[in-house]
């Protein structure tokens, strides 16, 4: 983990983005993760590092206006 991850709050991302740190960090959850260049990310919809649009997933890429993006506003 980088020092940045220890001092900043998690940031918004797609609800379908997943990473290993979500299993042990209490402040991370779907839609809120700490950005990291070292973390392996995957999409919950595909189970791979590609989203439904066949593009790579990570915290920077899995944002609006990406076509497959689901944010907190999409939960209704």
pLDDT in tens, 9-67: 899 999 999 999 999 999 999 999 999 999 999 999 999 999 999 999 999 999 999 99
The whole-angstrom separation of Cα 47 and Cα 74 is 20
Per-domain boundaries in the chain: 1-68
- Give the pLDDT score at 8: 82
- Give the pLDDT score at 15: 97
The whole-angstrom separation of Cα 37 and Cα 19 is 12
The whole-angstrom separation of Cα 38 and Cα 75 is 29
Q: What is the dihedral of CA 69, 39, 37, 33, to 10 degrees?
A: 50
Q: What is the DSSP letter of 54?
A: S
pLDDT in tens, 39-50: 999 999 999 999
For residues 61 and 43, the answer to whether their CB atoms sit within 8 Å is no
- Give the pLDDT score at 74: 82
Predicted structure pTM score: 0.85
């Amino acid at each position: 983990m980088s020092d940045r991850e220890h001092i900043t709050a998690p940031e918004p991302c797609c609800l379908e983005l997943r990473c290993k740190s979500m299993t042990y960090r209490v402040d991370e959850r779907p839609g809120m993760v700490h950005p990291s260049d070292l973390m392996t990310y995957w999409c919950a919809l595909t189970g791979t590092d590609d989203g439904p649009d066949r593009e790579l997933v990570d915290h920077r890429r899995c944002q609006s206006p990406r076509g497959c993006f689901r944010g907190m506003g999409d939960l209704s």
